[in-house]
């Protein structure tokens, strides 16, 4: 990508807003794929009302999909990088804007029904609690201009909205490759201002590889009473999840070539037992005709016992570990929204979250397979740590004319906590002070179908985990938070009737970025980094039978300055695991009222595995999925999905540096061609 002056481009775009243009109602810069079954109640400002780079995936693109975990659903959306680790419960995650999913920099805030749903490290494990049939929509906000969230909101956020209200009883049974069995039941009832929603889901599979079996269960419920138009709406959401999974292990290049569906003897005892719970209390109050107060009180619990063997040299204890997490999060989010006039809306919000976490890591001696029931060779971590975050924001929507919307915002965050390490060592969290985050978004409607927009904003990274440098143990130097300043300019338009398109150019500059993996205690200061790219997408309805969706993202992430000694510098190198290109194509064809076909193609470029860029590039792929739907009766539908139709062999790759004399790329192969048949019933 040419080093174009992005700042100049954005300023030029903003400058055009002062030009005399046709008056038109601003439509924002949101694109929607599919339909959203149940609309959220009015009150707090929604992302599409305020922000400028938003995509929504509706229920009809979600509910009929058979996936191992629900993060895979985002592969349909523009610019999404899926990190497919495929190691039991550690199945993978989603990222975008040139932030990778390796776990070293978790830059995407994740929410379920507006409730924060990242674990302490920032990983997105709470997503696994959701099954497709209970999801109403998935909303993705890209960039640095969203003031609603602070922690983990470095590159943007994803909110999974589950079904609320309505009258339905839906069931789905699926069976397919690798002896995959799945059952989902969703029930909704609404009467007299009282809405109830229930969900039960289970899935079991033998997996693509040997020693790859998994079974999981999820239970959810939502109860809401009242209507905001009548002055009050209160609700309770609750869900619980349990999974037991084997792990087939990562493979060397030789092992992959010998048998990509195999699992080495060293991994025969690897696996994971995971439980998660989430409870949320929601309350919205209409204090006056133009004043609404909203709050969410939540409690998250994450318990995980993972046994993992990474590589196979006959010395040392590093790769044979048992990792046990017990994390509890209690938090409160509040908002106050005031419609001051037809042209001005003000909103303020605050949040507080307390985390009380325990992390245990045990190392075991060499054995094939590792005996995780034996006494450990060493207890490396037995840590208890608190991590508290308090934040607040204000934002305004000023619309001086119908065609122009200006949204300034400011957010602040503070952190506190302590850790208790083996040997009686206690240490406070790094003192980051008050982290200020100014933001600005501007949208101008050139016509009812065309908007230009620009945004600028600052986000931040703080260290997580239970050990230094996140905590100030004796001798540990103080560090400051890494700030991430982003800019974006874009155009949303309608090329022809029945279509919507968007093209955007963006850049994000981080100061003092840190690659941090709390599970392994690995921390590497990358220094100043620059991420930038171009996003293009189009959705189109072609006649009554055809729907086409296409997107292409070009991105790069480079280390601009690292401050290392000559000979050790990585300046100019690419950040690990960031592909240059991500592309999607989706085509739906309705042959008749009863029969429909679908095609989805997804491609990703290759990437370096480590910051020295010395191992070569891996991870490139292009896969094709097909689907067919047949409506047997108005209530009964048959679905067929064929994934990876061409049986493309591709892998997730990472760099194993546990043993420097044997450091090498390690691989997790993706499943080959697979087919799934499902029966959906609506009562």
Residue range 273-285, pLDDT digits in tens: 999 999 999 999 9
Asked whether residue 311 is assigned to any structural domain, the reply reads: yes
Please tell me which of 58-62, 217-221, 317-321, 614-618 the model is most confident about, judged by mean pLDDT.
217-221
Contact 197, 222 (CB under 8 A): yes
Q: Sign (positive/negative) of CA torsion 448, 450, 456, 461?
A: positive
Residue 640, pLDDT above cutoff 90:
yes
User: Average pLDDT of the chain?
Assistant: 91
Residue 329 CA to residue 72 CA, distance in Å, equals 25
Q: Using an 8 Å Cβ cutoff, are 173 and 83 in contact?
A: no
* 1 falls within a domain: no
pLDDT category at 366 given cuts 50, 70, 90 is confident
* pLDDT-based confidence at residue 13 (cuts at 50, 70, 90): very low
SS3 118: coil
CATH number at residue 334: 2.40.170.20
| pLDDT for 568 | 84
Residue 94 belongs to a domain: yes
- List pLDDT tens digits, range 490-517: 999 999 999 999 999 999 999 989 988 8
**Gap between the Cα atoms of 249 and 270, Å rounded:** 7
Distance of CA 216 to the CA centre of its chain: 20
Instruction: Work out the angle at residue 165's Cα, subtended by the Cα atoms of residues 163 and 166, and round it to the nearest 5 degrees.
Output: 100
Tens-digit pLDDT profile for residues 557-569:
999 988 787 888 8
Give the start-end residues of each E strand in 562-620: 581-590, 595-604, 607-608, 617-618
CA distance 319 to 270: 12
pLDDT tens for 174-228 read 999 999 999 999 999 999 999 999 999 999 999 999 999 999 999 999 999 999 9
Using CA atoms, how far apart are residues 321 and 382, in angstroms rounded to an integer?
Answer: 13
| pLDDT, mean of residues 20-41 | 50
Give Cβ neighbours of residue 236 (< 8 Å, ≥ 6 apart): 221, 222, 223, 224, 279, 280, 281, 282
pLDDT at 50: 73
For residue 144, give the nearest of 96, 72, 92 by alpha carbon.
96
536: in domain: yes
Token pair 């999801």 is found at 135
Compute the average pLDDT of residues 443-448: 93
The Cα–Cα gap between 368 and 173 comes to 39
Range of the structural domain that residue 243 is part of: 6-682
| Maximum average pLDDT range among 24-28, 98-102, 154-158 | 154-158
pLDDT over 60 at 150, yes or no: yes
Higher pLDDT, 21 or 597: 597
| Nearest Cα to Cα of residue 49 among 340, 337, 334 | 337
Burial of 640 (0-12, 13-18, 19+ CB in 10 A): middle
Q: Return left, alpha or beta for 512; rule: phi > 0 is left, psi -120 to 50 is alpha, else beta.
A: left
Q: What is the mean pLDDT of residues 82-86?
A: 94
d(CA 438, CA 288): 29
Residue 16: its H or E element: helix 6-16
User: Are the beta carbons of 332 and 295 closer than 8 angstroms?
Assistant: yes
Count how many domains the chain has: 1
């Amino acid at each position: 990508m040419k080093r174009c002056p992005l700042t100049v481009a954005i300023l030029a775009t903003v400058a055009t807003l002062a030009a005399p243009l046709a008056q038109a109602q601003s439509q924002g810069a949101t694109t929607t794929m599919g339909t959203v079954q149940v609309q959220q109640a009015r009150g707090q400002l929604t992302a599409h009302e305020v922000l400028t780079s938003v995509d929504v995936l509706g229920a009809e693109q979600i509910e009929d999909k058979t996936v191992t975990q629900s993060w895979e659903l985002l592969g349909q959306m523009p610019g999404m990088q899926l990190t497919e680790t495929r190691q039991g419960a550690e199945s993978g995650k989603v990222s975008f804007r040139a932030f990778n999913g390796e776990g070293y920099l978790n830059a995407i805030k994740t929410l379920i029904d507006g409730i924060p749903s990242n674990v302490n490290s920032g990983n997105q494990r709470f997503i696994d609690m959701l099954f497709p049939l209970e999801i109403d929509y998935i909303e993705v906000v890209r960039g640095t201009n969203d003031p609603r969230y602070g922690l983990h909101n470095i590159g943007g956020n994803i909110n999974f909205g589950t079904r609320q209200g309505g009258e339905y009883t839906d069931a789905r049974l699926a069976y397919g490759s690798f002896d995959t069995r799945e059952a989902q039941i969703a029930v909704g009832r609404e009467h007299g201002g009282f809405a109830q929603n229930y969900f039960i889901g289970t899935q079991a599979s033998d997996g693509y590889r040997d020693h790859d079996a998994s079974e999981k269960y999820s239970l959810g419920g939502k109860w809401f009473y009242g209507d905001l138009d009548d002055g009050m709406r209160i609700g309770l959401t609750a869900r619980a999840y349990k999974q037991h999974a084997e792990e087939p292990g990562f493979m060397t290049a030789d092992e992959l070539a010998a048998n990509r569906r195999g699992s080495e003897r060293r991994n025969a005892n690897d696996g994971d037992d995971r439980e998660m719970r989430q409870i949320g209390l929601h309350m919205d109050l209409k204090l006056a005709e133009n004043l609404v107060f909203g709050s969410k009180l939540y409690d998250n619990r994450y318990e995980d016992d993972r046994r993992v063997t990474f590589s196979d040299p006959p010395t040392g204890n590093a790769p044979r570990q048992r990792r046990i997490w017990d994390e509890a999060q209690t938090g409160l989010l509040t908002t106050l929204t005031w419609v001051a006039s037809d042209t001005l809306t003000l909103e303020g919000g605050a949040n507080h979250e307390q985390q009380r976490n325990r992390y245990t890591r045990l190392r075991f001696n060499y054995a094939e397979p590792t005996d995780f029931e034996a006494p450990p060779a060493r207890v490396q971590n037995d840590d208890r740590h608190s991590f508290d975050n308090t934040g607040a924001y204000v934002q305004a929507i000023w619309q001086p004319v119908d065609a122009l919307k200006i949204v300034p915002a400011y957010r602040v965050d503070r952190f506190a906590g302590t850790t208790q390490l083996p040997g009686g060592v206690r240490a406070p969290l790094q003192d980051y002070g008050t982290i200020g985050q100014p933001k600005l978004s501007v949208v101008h409607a050139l016509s009812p179908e065309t908007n230009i927009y620009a945004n600028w904003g600052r986000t931040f990274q703080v260290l997580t985990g239970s050990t230094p440098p996140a905590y100030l143990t004796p001798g540990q130097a103080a560090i400051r938070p890494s700030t991430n300043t982003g800019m974006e300019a874009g155009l949303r338009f309608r090329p022809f009737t029945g279509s919507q398109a968007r093209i955007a150019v963006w850049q994000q500059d981080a100061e003092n970025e840190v690659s941090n993996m709390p599970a392994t205690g690995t921390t590497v200061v990358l220094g100043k980094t620059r991420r930038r790219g171009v996003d293009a997408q189009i959705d189109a309805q072609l006649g009554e039978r055809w729907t086409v969706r296409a997107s292409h993202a070009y991105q790069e992430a480079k280390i601009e300055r690292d401050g290392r000694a000559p000979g050790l510098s990585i300046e100019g190198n690419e950040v690990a695991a960031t592909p240059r290109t991500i592309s999607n194509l989706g085509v739906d064809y309705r042959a008749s009222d009863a029969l429909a076909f679908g095609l989805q193609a997804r491609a990703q470029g290759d990437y370096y595995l480590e910051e020295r860029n010395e191992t070569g590039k891996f991870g490139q792929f292009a896969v094709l999925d097909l689907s067919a739907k047949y409506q047997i009766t108005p209530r009964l539908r048959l679905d067929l999905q064929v994934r990876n139709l061409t049986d493309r062999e591709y892998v997730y790759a990472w760099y194993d540096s546990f043993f420097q004399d044997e450091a090498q790329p390690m691989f997790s192969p993706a499943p080959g061609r697979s087919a799934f048949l499902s029966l959906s019933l609506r009562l």
